[in-house]
Structure formats: structure tokens, C-alpha cells
Chains A and B, each alone.
Chain A
Amino acid sequence: TQLLEQSPQFLSIQEGENLTVYCNSSSVFSSLQWYRQEPGEGPVLLVTVVTGGEVKKLKRLTFQFGDARKDSSLHITAAQPGDTGLYLCAGPRGSNYKLTFGKGTLLTVNP
């Protein structure tokens, strides 16, 4: 069974601070996806990382895929209240329509 462990589970920070959340597995994934989910809504895809060592940037968000394709991280620079939400990592179990999800990191950015 491929498991994804996310840490920390909860994170509360002040506006302007930087933060990193982690997604780790003992299994190799062909790719990893990062989603953000807001209350009452479904997960929304932020990025997919495919190549080991890959770094992708989305404005103030930087995503990295580990060289061995077993782990990933999400770094947010100068967090804003609008970044508040549940951040989920997910990996395909053979195909993208069969995803394994981590339990998520609930981020709160206080003004």
C-alpha cells in the first residue's frame, strides 16, 4: 500500500512569515500533485511535479519533488491570509484517476 505522510498536520502563522509543508512516502511515485481545499469546496489542483528533483514555482509557492520521487515539499514565501486552507498532496496508484491522498496540512495565516 502506497502511503503519503504529510507534516505538519496543523500550522498557524502570521501574515508575512514563510513556511514549508512536507509530503513523504516510502514508495516511489510517478508524479505527485498538490491541492488546496477551502471550507465547503472540493480540492483544487495547484501543481503536478513529475521529474525527480523538479522545482516548480507558482507566484509565492515553490514546489519540489525529491530526487528519488518519494517526497515533495511546498514552500510559501510571505504568507497571506488568502493562503489559508487545507493543503493536500496526492499520488497516482497507477493512473491519475486513482489517487492516494495524504491527510493534509491545515494552514491558517493570521492577519
Chain B
Amino acid sequence: NAGVTQTPKFQVLKTGQSMTLQCAQDMNHEYMSWYRQDPGMGLRLIHYSVGAGITDQGEVPNGYNVSRSTTEDFPLRLLSAAPSQTSVYFCASSADSSQPQHFGDGTRLSIL
């Protein structure tokens, strides 16, 4: 009963380092999204995908890259981490455009 799995759960980076946040879902969902949650800001959409090979930008895409080579996986890449990217990152998936999203438990990322 895994649902949406995010790894790692916690990460500390130095400014300028790169890393990939992993997201995997086992529900065969076509739609996947990445959000970041900051204190006092709610959740904001970073990137989303409507199927393998198709991605698009959300509300706050700068500094992040995504790809979707399989239905199951939707990794989020930080190419050169900045302190402003310190946040909690959530991945979500849904079966189609009308169904609600299922969220993972998040990755807590600190950039020093």
C-alpha cells in the first residue's frame, strides 16, 4: 500500500550543490506534480506532468528541472542549490485530470 513515495525524507545541502529529489508512485497514475511548502506561503506548484515524456512549468519553476521517462517516476532536480530553495517538497499524483491528488510525505530540504 505504498502510494506516493518520496526520498530522501531529509537533506542538507551547501549552496551550489546539485541533487535530485525522487518521487515514485505505484498506482499507475498519469498525472504527477511537484509542490513546495514554505511557512506562511502554503503549497506552490513547481512543475507537473500529464504523462510519460510530457512536463510543464507551474507557478514557481525557476531553479528546478524535471523529467518523466516512466509513468512511475517523476524526479525533481536542483542544478545549483540556493538558500531560497530551503523548503519542504511534496510530490503528488492523480489518475486523471478530474481526480484528486495523492500526496507523498515530503522531503525536507535545507540549503546552507
> Which A residues have a C-beta under 8 Å from some C-beta of B?
4, 33, 40-45, 48, 88, 90, 93, 95-104
Dominant SS at the B interface? Answer: strand
A-B contact count (CB 8 A): 63
Q: Are B105 and A99 in contact (CB under 8 A)?
A: no
Q: Are B98 and A96 in contact (CB under 8 A)?
A: yes
Q: Are B42 and A44 in contact (CB under 8 A)?
A: no
A95 CB to nearest chain B CB (Å): 4
- Residue numbers in B under 8 Å from A96 (CB-CB): 31, 94, 97-101
The number of chain B residues with a CB under 8 A from chain A is 27
Q: Are A97 and B103 in contact (CB under 8 A)?
A: no
A26 CB to nearest chain B CB (Å): 17
Stretch of B11-19, B44-52, B62-70, B79-87 that contacts chain A: B44-52
A71 CB to nearest chain B CB (Å): 17
Complex-state Cα separation, A99 to B103, whole angstroms: 12
